[in-house]
Amino acid sequence: MSRRVVDCTKVLRHGAADAFAALEFERPGQPRTLTHRIEMDADVGTHVLAPRRYVRWGSDLSGLAPESFFGEGLVAHLEVTADASDIDSSRLEDAFGRSLQNRDIVVIAARGEGVTPSFTAQAAQWLFVRGAKLVALADGISVGRDKEPDDERVILSTLLENDVPIVRGLVNTETLSAERMAFMALPAPAADVTAWPVRFVALDPGLDPTQQALEVEAAADQEGEAEPPPAESVDQTADAQPDELAESASEPSDSDASADRDTEDSLPEPDVDEGSAAEPSPEDDQDEEDLSKRSAEA
């Protein structure tokens, strides 16, 4: 089965954010060879949070097994509004139902016009109970209430305390299908470090939903631009000149000639008088001869 490789990772650029700087230089004795010194925050770009983030006894990046960052799972595409911006357990239940399996990777993508989706404690608890081994949140999803930093710590600790790493800052999630797919998000095994940028990649067997939407729009546009049906043909006799009409009226048409032939064929043949048309018989000749003799004797 062919799969699309979808990169859900933010690109890190020097100077694009204060949290990331790539200092370029040449090493002494290695002319025309570029290298870089990176200065960054550990949670820059698309990054993973290790359990030690909020729990001192939790695992750091080097203590998490590689299989925690690779496996199959599902994507939840959620629509949020100003009146319903929370991502809670009921929203996840509706999105996944019975499709979610134990030890799945879960990607949560939410969108809403002018609305910031909020990942809640109920959602974190629901994912832990359902056995998610890694939870990834799309860029733009906040954790807890705005301007309440304790909410983030309390909510994410539900997962991190149980060695469930969390990836934040995914992009291109709108191109992921609803099919079951494989994910990979391997960080560097940095000891004693609680966060690190990752390259989050999905191997998607389904079609790109955004491409399907464009194809539907293109098909609708083509139907709208289709040529109108041909107009009804105009009676050509209406445009004919008077002389042409008179000439056509004086000339017998094929239908008139055919009607005359049918009339002639239908007339009955005249009866023939068989007696008058018959030749005289020998008996008649003898009678006439006898009559002539008797007249002479008289």
For residue range 161-201, what is the model confidence (pLDDT) as tens digits?
A: 999 999 999 999 999 999 999 999 999 999 999 999 999 99
At residue 272, the pLDDT reads 47
Flag whether 177 is in a domain.
Answer: yes
Which pLDDT value is given to residue 14? 92
Q: Is 142 part of a structural domain of the chain?
A: yes
Helix (H, G, I), strand (E, B) or coil at 274: helix
> Domain holding 74: CATH number?
3.50.30.50
CA distance 175 to 207: 8
Report the alpha-carbon distance of residue 78 to residue 138 in Å, rounded: 11
Nearest-angstrom CA–CA distance, 135 and 124: 9
- Domain with 148, as residue range(s), is 42-212
Is position 57 within any domain? yes
Q: What is the total count of domains within the chain? A: 1
Residues of the chain with pLDDT under 70: 1, 213, 215-221, 224-298
pTM score over 0.85: no
- Inside any domain, residue 55: yes
| Residue range 127-140, pLDDT digits in tens | 999 999 999 999 99
Q: Which two tokens stand for residue 41?
A: 């925050």
Q: Which of 113, 112, 188, 171 is nearest to 137 (CA)?
A: 171
Residue 224 within any structural domain of the chain: no
Decide if 204 is inside a domain. Answer: yes
Which of 88, 87, 92 shows the shortest CA–CA distance to 140? Answer: 87
Residue 91 lies in a domain: yes
7 within domain boundaries: no
Q: Please give the Cα distance from 221 to 236 (Å, whole number).
A: 37
